[in-house]
């Protein structure tokens, strides 16, 4: 039974990952729904949240300043619901919630009503919630309306997956980029011309968001993409693959020229004159370059090789470009982008910290946590869905993220 539950949880995380919504900037379509929820029910707070392996993350919120909480602090996590809605008329009069940190402390929730955000295949990936600082009742008709609004949220998520361009930056969406890149690679193979791929991440982007706020982070993303597009040809493709992760496909371009293009883009991003409240915001990016051929015959293999080079650029100090094959010995260790629930275990198993595994290989992993302060330098990582148990040591820390090697 426990193994079955772990597999179901992994299926849920896979379903959530399909929407590529975690840690994305605010979007008017979702903010409109939380504003409507707040006004319709006359409550002081409303939110759209998604739950990964270790936290409840707020995609949109009204009337509250919370951006994420530990998964155990989510109201719906405290009371097992079996897929049912959760209504708490007065949290202080409810034994399950009267000592809850969000009840006795900010934002002092007294009333809570939430319905699950359910995917077409039946997985609950989050909640749409209405909350207030005063106790109140919630009629069946109110609950029906909240379900209707939750369906609007899910429709917006589904439409997001069909979009061809990223709303914030104007780059191609991940799906559109992969489709266009696959077509271009097919032409390259058929006619025997070079095709190169450049993958890059903005360096320390979470620190920009944490220090200067998400609106300034949005500006950095927009300006970075605009600068890249000014540097590229009209025939080149650029896509947003994740929060601060991008890819550029260069048709009719060999490895030497691709590395030159990547260096031009790197220099342009590093020269961006973005000014925050405390002066100029340092912006840079790390780049990995790979070219079609030598066993790379599709977008997946090309992405893997470019990612390997990108990780080498990060390990080499960031703000640099690395070509696949020049620095990495064979065999190549590929880190897959994943979304898995993990558990950090230490003190002989007596202490644990929930985490979300975001990328994984046979020898290392990247983990998201609520705070890196309590994570020891050495621990054991447990991923129950994969029956994986590995001793780890930290090789890098960044805000709420740790990089580990297995040993």
SS3 state of residue 364: strand
Is-contact 392 407, C-beta < 8 A?
yes
Options 244, 323, 399, 403, the catalytic residue: 244
Kindly tell me the number of DSSP H helices and DSSP E strands found in the chain.
10, 19
For 64-95, letters b (16+ CB in 10 Å) and e give bebebbbbebbbbeeeeeeeebbbbebbeebe
Number of other residues whose CB lies within 10 A of the CB of residue 283: 22
174 in Cβ contact with 243 (< 8 Å): no
* Residues 273-279: contacts with CB under 8 Å, at least 24 apart: 274/216, 274/219, 274/220, 274/223, 276/211, 276/212, 276/216, 277/212, 278/211, 278/212
328 as an active site residue: the answer is no
Residues annotated as catalytic are 244
């Amino acid at each position: 039974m426990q193994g079955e539950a772990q597999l179901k949880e992994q299926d849920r995380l896979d379903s959530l990952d399909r929407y590529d919504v975690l840690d994305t900037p605010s979007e008017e379509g979702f903010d409109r729904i939380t504003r409507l929820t707040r006004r319709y029910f006359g409550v002081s707070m409303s939110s759209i949240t998604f739950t990964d392996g270790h936290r409840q993350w707020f995609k949109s919120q009204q009337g509250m300043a919370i951006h994420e909480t530990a998964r155990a602090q989510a109201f719906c996590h405290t009371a097992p619901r079996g897929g049912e809605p959760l209504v708490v008329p007065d949290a202080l009069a409810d034994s399950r919630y009267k000592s809850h940190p969000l009840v006795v402390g900010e934002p002092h929730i007294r009333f809570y009503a939430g319905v699950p955000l359910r995917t077409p295949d039946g997985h609950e990936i989050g909640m749409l919630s209405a909350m207030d600082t005063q106790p109140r009742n919630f009629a069946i008709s109110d609950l029906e309306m909240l379900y209707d609004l939750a369906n609007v949220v899910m429709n917006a998520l589904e439409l997001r997956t069909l979009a061809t361009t990223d709303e914030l930056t104007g780059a191609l969406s991940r799906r559109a980029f992969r489709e266009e890149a696959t077509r271009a690679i097919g032409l390259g193979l058929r006619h025997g011309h070079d095709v190169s791929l450049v993958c890059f991440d903005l360096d320390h982007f979470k620190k920009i968001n944490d220090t200067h706020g998400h609106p300034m982070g949005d500006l950095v993303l927009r300006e970075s993409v605009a600068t890249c597009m000014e540097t590229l040809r009209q025939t080149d493709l650029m896509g947003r693959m994740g929060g601060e992760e991008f890819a550029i496909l260069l048709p009719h371009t060999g490895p030497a020229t691709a590395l030159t293009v990547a260096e031009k883009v790197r220099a342009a991003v590093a020269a961006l004159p973005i000014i925050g409240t405390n002066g100029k915001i340092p912006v840079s990016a790390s780049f990995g370059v790979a070219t079609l051929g030598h066993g790379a015959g599709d977008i997946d293999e090309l992405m893997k090789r470019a990612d390997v080079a990108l990780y080498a650029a990060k390990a080499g100090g960031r703000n640099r470009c690395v070509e696949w094959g020049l620095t990495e010995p064979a065999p190549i260790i590929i880190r897959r982008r994943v979304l898995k629930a993990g558990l950090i275990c230490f003190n002989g198993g007596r202490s644990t910290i929930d985490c979300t595994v975001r990328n994984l290989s046979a020898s290392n992993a990247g983990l998201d946590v609520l705070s890196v302060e309590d994570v020891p330098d050495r621990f054991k990582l447990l991923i129950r869905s994969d029956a994986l148990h590995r001793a780890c040591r930290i090789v890098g820390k960044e805000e709420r993220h740790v990089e580990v090697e297995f040993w």
